[in-house]
Structure 1
Amino acid sequence: MSNPLLQDGNVPVDYPSITVQSMQNAFDQVLERYAQGIERVINSQPSMPTWDDLVLAMDDLDAQLYAVLYGVMPFLGKGQAWSDPILAFHIAANSALDSRFCNEQLQSLYEQLAYSDIGRNLDSRQRATLRWHVERFRVSGASLPKSDKARLLDLQRQITELEERYLLNLDHPDVVVDDITQLRGLSQRSLDELNERARQRGNNGWSIPCESWAVDRVLEEAELGAIREQVYRAFHGRGVNTGSSPDNGQVLQQLALLRHERATLLAFSDHMNLSLARKSAGSPGQVRAFLQSLAAGMKPLVQQWRSDLERDAQKLGLDDMQPWDLRFAQKQLRDAAKIVSKEALREFFPMAAVIDALIQLARRLFGLELRATPAPVWAPSVLAFEAFQHNARIGLLYLDAVQHAGKQADAVFTTYVRNRRVDAEGIYQQAVVMVFSDVPEGSAGAQPLLDHLALRKLYHEFGHALHHLLVRTDNQVQSGVIELGTDGTELFGKLFERWVWNAAYLVSISSHHSDGRQIDREQVERCIARYKREAIGEAALELSKALFDVDLHTKPGDGKTPRQRFAQSREQCGYWPLHAHEHPAHAFDHLATGYDAGYYAYLWADVCAVDIFTRFEQTGLLDRALGQVLFESLIAPGASRPLREGVRQFLGRETSLHPYLQWLQAAG
């Protein structure tokens, strides 16, 4: 138990002491302990299984495995010596979890408890947890014949391996520039960061990595169309003809077919039906109807947006606008309209002020106190906070918001390391959550500054963290917000983004890094209006990807190529046709990281979030009473019920598309 990754969950992990060897030892030990623990649980049951001896004993095993699996996420970017064993453990851990839900003896014990007098007399949440397990065993194939069960485990192994291959294929060399005139128009900050990247890679000049932050910067700022085109093609060539066999287009097609076979083996008509069995938005028919209604409502807005943009771009000399011209044209039009620049805007949002705003938002809405703590962390810029509510410590939050050496590129995600729960001894086990974002480091030792996109990303991930910390359930399953599905978890990220789309709120949290003054309200309103207009195109692109995902995972064997599917999905929502050098299916990494047949979640969550936020706009952005209603209806129940029920309770009705479409319409 001296291994830092295997300590009690109520004690912060000593991250600086972890080595590759101690990490590998933890992987080996936790996998061995997990297998032995399952056998011990099975063999130690009395004539009638009990809640403590079965459910809470398995909770302990699951919690430790997940804590190691997710607790090493900060090390994924430290190089191959770290990432290789982490990825291998990811495959092995998921195989162990899959095998657990194929175990007939465990299935029998859970069913025996669920259907007994003891089980029927448990409280409502305990009964719901047992029903979850019974259903999970069913959809995991525990009752399948031996040969089918073996095939199922093989399919799951192949799927995990292909997902890893897909992600590895996304690696792409930097675009190296040795003539600064090619980068005319880039801000000094951008030039400095690309020069530093080159220095770190042993190159002269400026290195442009195929990472979103750098590519978007060049596409927006570079005046020369040639460099924009070169960078755009490199970025959109990721996963295409990588030299590996197969490339990502073939990998994705193979993944879809294997997922389909797994679904049919489990008596589902397709992977879409299997996926939605564990999500919040409803049936496949409801999700398709949602996407089709959204596409029908958005298409005229998107077509008008395209027409206006193409007309305005002609004034800039872009008579035949190409995909690599889009961001550049939008920036030039912002400048022509005298919209405050991203560089000027970010000066009003230094990291310290933004973190204070996040802390105050959590306190004002939910009474959650986040107190800085000197917990050992993996990088100097990482912050740790203990979370308290009603003077009781409930969890630990790690905030890794700033880019630093050894961190994954484009690392914007939240990791739920430990779920809140009460163990069989009655000891409270705190929730632990990690937030990662990609805010650029400050220049010359100054604190980092956030533009509007960086604010949106950080508030989005902070919303996930609050959700995880604030649930009020007490076992591993019901406190696991991921059990709500991608749609259920994304709602809270999308909801907390809404605060930084509100001009009054942005003004209230602004504090210029040099003198603390607030930004001008009119400037912010004009800036937000322009960003909202650009959001029409972003939403259309997201919708095309969601439609592609649904089509691929409903009919993977219909003979259509990924390119044909994307062409159809873009046409359906009015977005630009595919350019010859665009290969979106080859770098659609969400389909290899758990969002397969679930990418619609971002749009569903956005629609729900806008609808919910209208109440805060009417009542008060920091209204404590409304925050309490939100907490009670959507957050506290955890995964004990589908989130759409909580949304209905909060709104007093079903969710409506109208507020979202109205928001986009106002932007147009």
Structure 2
Amino acid sequence: MPDLNPLLQDYHLPPFSAIRAEHLVPAIDAIVLSSRAEVARIIASQRHHPNWDDLMLAMEAVTSRIDEVLSVIYILDSTTTDPRWLEASALATFRASAFTQELTGNQGLYDCYKALAASSSAALFDASRQSLLKRTLKKFRLAGIELEPAMQKKRVMLDHKIAGHQQLFLTRLEQANNAWRKHITDESRLQGLTPTLKARMAQKARAANVQGWLITLNDEIYRECMAYAQDRTLREEIFVAYNTRASDLGPHAGQFDNGPLLQMLRVSRHQKAMLLGYANFVELALELQMLETRDQVLDFIRDQIASSRTVFAHDKQVLEALGHELGLTGLQPWDFAFLAQIIRQRTCGVSEDDLRVYFPLENTLSQLFALVKQLFGIEISELYGFDAWASGIRLFQITEHGEVLGQIFFVPYRQNDGGYPYAISLRNRWTTAESRRVQPMAVLFTQFEGTPDETCLLGHRQLKILFHEFGHCLQQLLVGIGYRTKMGTDDSGIDSAEFFGQFFERWCDSPDCLAWLSSHFKTGASLPMAMARQQALYTDTQSSWEQAESLTLALFDMEVHGSQDDGRTIEHVFASANREVGHLPSLDTVRYANSFSHLVSGYEGGYYAYQWSEVLARRAFKRFEREGVFNAATGRAFREQVLAPGHSRSLLESVRLFSEEPSGRAP
């Protein structure tokens, strides 16, 4: 009798609605069992005379199958709190991860890859194949394949310990987020908040069966309260609750403390790096990035700090003057965003809500798709009648000259209070040994507030989120077209992957593009060009605080993972980084690091990538500024010189060629 497990059937679009908790572990077990047999067959056939199709592409078929099932499970995890599902998901993920570790610890498979790299045919491989083969061998070495058996066992134990601590960090952070609520019954305390934000707070109160308004530690709510709430004591209370989450301080001191956990992670990561022959964890983390050494990263960060000093000083002087004017004695951290917002509105004469009415989601999507058609020659159309995992999910298909290039699932609205915007790969593009093209798929989560039944209006920040995450999806679908090797965001370093999101954000800062994208949700009128220019000025005004925060976190990440033996605590390292940047206030009563989720989500030792990729993106976008932000020839050049090569050459080299700059220049 055939196995009816939906995860084991052949499908193009995943059968999301048919998947149940009882399907997960049996599916992974079956895939692992058949994959082990296939790997053994591959090793036996490739041991002496390996070739690309029968080794690299055959193994790609093995790993792609289990990777896609894991992606489907990960997506479904976000929609449920059912204990049966979560238990099955955790066990299935654990067994799949164990198999992945088994592969990178397989000496026979490693020997086949080494033999292929040493073969005469490898010298004739194109740049794409050589790059992928080199990265594959490096992943084996980073997994400890060349260690003695006892050391390999220790490395596996460290990986299990690190993974457990990372998951516990996120669990405690979620618990801390959910534990704090501020119930407001006196509307006067919400003076200054936008009608949009107050409506969301009222909706949360109704959902909790209480009257009035409910403030939570959702990132967007926190950010807007800090910027707009006129009640200083309310800002202070929210600031303290948010910045002491999962720590030994604040309203839930000690209940969900991530501090000791961070220190254990720091030690375990350092031990793993030392075991693999690195001086510290940063050196290990940089192995698959563009920058190669900790010193290079620190030089870059410190160059950014030095070049920002003048702006830092100016913004601080203007902000302190406004504080004095308003009678705010002894400025506190919860005053900075509030004062900066007033300065922006005074300087630019425009507010977030003034802009929001011109960017209803539906029209903005249509214009975004028209923009990429103009620039890159691709068509994006919506598909209907597909199997989705929740209501409100949409599916778009990308075609070129009638050929399907891939699909993007779009999840516009927040599915839980703690979610953040992101894009993930559901399936990478690659070509099988039989020359069958596997179409890529991506999933875009923007986490906007609202429901499909409401008119969703995007502020400038939400506009940037949409463009940023769409940039990641477009990279997934367009990177490496024309190459037979696997291409996808998963094969890029963090600093390369973040470039594409940062690059697409640049159109949101172009007055011409803002005016072209816009359509008033009631009248259909375009954003006046004067307002579009005001918005561009608004974005740059008092922006140094976000810049300083990003630089502080990047420097902290480098120091905390590169200075294990200097005796400093997590708090001391953060305070030192904050002092070196020298723009944000120093405060002993917060614990920023305890809720810094990038430390446990793949960006550890790589948070600098946001700054690095932004600098690189701004450099690349200068050509569009010279030649026109809607210039089709420039768009084709970007696609051909940056997107198409994928990992066949360095992103730095691709950007240099596109930017028409002399060689040797770095950000």
Which category describes the TM-score, using the shorter chain as reference length? over 0.9
Contact preservation (8 Å) 1:507, 1:519? yes
Which deviates more from structure 2 when the two are superposed, residues 155-164 or residues 213-222? 213-222
Q: Given the alignment, which residue of 118, 124, 131 partners 1:128?
A: 131
The CA distance in 1 between the partners of 2:140 and 2:211, in whole Å, is: 57
**What is the CA-CA distance between 1:545 and the residue it aligns to?**
0.4
Residue 259 (structure 1) aligned with residue 269 (structure 2): yes
Q: Given the alignment, which residue of 386, 397, 400 partners 1:386?
A: 397
Aligned to 1:505: 513
Call closer, same or farther: CA 1:115–1:245 in 2, change over 3 Å: farther
Query: Which residues of 2 match residues 62-461 of structure 1 at below 5 A?
Result: 62-81=63-82, 82-171=85-174, 172=176, 173-181=179-187, 182-241=189-248, 247-337=257-347, 339-374=349-384, 375-403=386-414, 406-407=415-416, 409-441=418-450, 445-461=453-469
What SS does structure 1 have at the residue aligned with 2:173?
Answer: coil
What SS does structure 2 have at the residue aligned with 1:247?
Answer: coil
What SS does structure 1 have at the residue aligned with 2:492?
Answer: helix
Q: Supply the RMSD in Å over aligned alpha carbons.
A: 2.4
Contact preservation (8 Å) 2:25, 2:91? no
The CA distance in 1 between the partners of 2:340 and 2:131, in whole Å, is: 50
Aligned residue identity for 2:50: P
What SS does structure 2 have at the residue aligned with 1:41?
Answer: helix
Call closer, same or farther: CA 1:292–1:336 in 2, change over 3 Å: closer
Aligned to 1:51: 52
Q: Deviations over 1:234-258 (max 9, x none)?
A: 1112121378798322222221221
Aligned residue identity for 1:438: Q
Call closer, same or farther: CA 1:124–1:531 in 2, change over 3 Å: closer
Q: Given the alignment, which residue of 623, 636, 640 partners 1:628?
A: 636
**What is the CA-CA distance between 1:342 and the residue it aligns to?**
1.4
**What is the CA-CA distance between 1:629 and the residue it aligns to?**
1.8
The CA distance in 1 between the partners of 2:388 and 2:205, in whole Å, is: 28
Call closer, same or farther: CA 1:212–1:644 in 2, change over 3 Å: same
Q: Deviations over 1:123-171 (max 9, x none)?
A: 4433332222222222221111100111111111111111111111112
Call closer, same or farther: CA 1:263–1:58 in 2, change over 3 Å: same
**What is the CA-CA distance between 1:606 and the residue it aligns to?**
0.7
Q: Given the alignment, which residue of 516, 525, 528 partners 2:524?
A: 516
Contact preservation (8 Å) 1:442, 1:449? no
The CA distance in 1 between the partners of 2:466 and 2:91, in whole Å, is: 30
**What is the CA-CA distance between 1:14 and the residue it aligns to?**
2.3
Contact preservation (8 Å) 2:142, 2:276? yes
Aligned residue identity for 2:156: L
Call closer, same or farther: CA 1:32–1:199 in 2, change over 3 Å: farther
Query: Which residues of 2 match residues 476-515 of structure 1 at below 5 A?
Result: 478-515=486-523
The CA distance in 2 between the partners of 1:626 and 1:498, in whole Å, is: 15
Q: Deviations over 1:627-660 (max 9, x none)?
A: 12211222112222331121222222368789xx
The CA distance in 2 between the partners of 1:610 and 1:496, in whole Å, is: 10
Which deviates more from structure 2 when the two are superposed, residues 574-583 or residues 356-365? 574-583
Q: Deviations over 1:416-435 (max 9, x none)?
A: 11110011222110011111
Aligned to 1:666: none
Aligned residue identity for 1:60: A
What SS does structure 2 have at the residue aligned with 1:417?
Answer: strand
The CA distance in 2 between the partners of 1:340 and 1:33, in whole Å, is: 61
State TM-score, norm by structure 1.
Answer: 0.92
Aligned to 1:661: none
The CA distance in 2 between the partners of 1:123 and 1:481, in whole Å, is: 20
What SS does structure 2 have at the residue aligned with 1:384?
Answer: strand
Unaligned runs of 5+ in 1: 659-668
The CA distance in 2 between the partners of 1:84 and 1:534, in whole Å, is: 47
Aligned to 2:20: 19
Call closer, same or farther: CA 1:152–1:609 in 2, change over 3 Å: same
Which deviates more from structure 2 when the two are superposed, residues 310-319 or residues 590-599? 310-319
**What is the CA-CA distance between 1:27 and the residue it aligns to?**
3.8
Q: Deviations over 1:55-108 (max 9, x none)?
A: 112101111121122223333333432445444544443343233112111101
Query: Which residues of 2 match residues 526-605 of structure 1 at below 5 A?
Result: 526-605=534-613
State TM-score, norm by structure 2.
Answer: 0.92
The CA distance in 2 between the partners of 1:351 and 1:472, in whole Å, is: 30
**What is the CA-CA distance between 1:407 and the residue it aligns to?**
4.1
Which deviates more from structure 2 when the two are superposed, residues 116-125 or residues 363-372? 116-125
What SS does structure 2 have at the residue aligned with 1:648?
Answer: helix
**What is the CA-CA distance between 1:24 and the residue it aligns to?**
4.4
Aligned residue identity for 1:67: E
Contact preservation (8 Å) 1:478, 1:640? no
Aligned residue identity for 1:301: V
The CA distance in 2 between the partners of 1:593 and 1:279, in whole Å, is: 16
Call closer, same or farther: CA 1:409–1:614 in 2, change over 3 Å: same
Contact preservation (8 Å) 2:383, 2:395? yes
The CA distance in 2 between the partners of 1:329 and 1:243, in whole Å, is: 29
Call closer, same or farther: CA 1:106–1:326 in 2, change over 3 Å: same
Contact preservation (8 Å) 2:431, 2:486? no
Query: Percent identity among equivalent residues?
Result: 28
The CA distance in 2 between the partners of 1:168 and 1:493, in whole Å, is: 27
The CA distance in 2 between the partners of 1:377 and 1:545, in whole Å, is: 37
What SS does structure 2 have at the residue aligned with 1:72?
Answer: helix
Which deviates more from structure 2 when the two are superposed, residues 207-216 or residues 170-179? 170-179
**What is the CA-CA distance between 1:585 and the residue it aligns to?**
0.8
Call closer, same or farther: CA 1:397–1:545 in 2, change over 3 Å: same
Q: Deviations over 1:260-306 (max 9, x none)?
A: 11111111221111111101234333222111111111123212211
What SS does structure 2 have at the residue aligned with 1:301?
Answer: helix
Aligned residue identity for 1:274: L
**What is the CA-CA distance between 1:558 and the residue it aligns to?**
1.3
**What is the CA-CA distance between 1:605 and the residue it aligns to?**
0.6
Call closer, same or farther: CA 1:176–1:124 in 2, change over 3 Å: closer
Contact preservation (8 Å) 2:24, 2:92? no
Call closer, same or farther: CA 1:287–1:338 in 2, change over 3 Å: closer
Aligned residue identity for 2:400: Q
The CA distance in 2 between the partners of 1:654 and 1:402, in whole Å, is: 44
Aligned residue identity for 2:585: P
The CA distance in 1 between the partners of 2:109 and 2:208, in whole Å, is: 52
**What is the CA-CA distance between 1:588 and the residue it aligns to?**
0.8
Unaligned runs of 5+ in 2: none
The CA distance in 1 between the partners of 2:484 and 2:324, in whole Å, is: 57
The CA distance in 2 between the partners of 1:597 and 1:379, in whole Å, is: 35
Call closer, same or farther: CA 1:38–1:205 in 2, change over 3 Å: farther
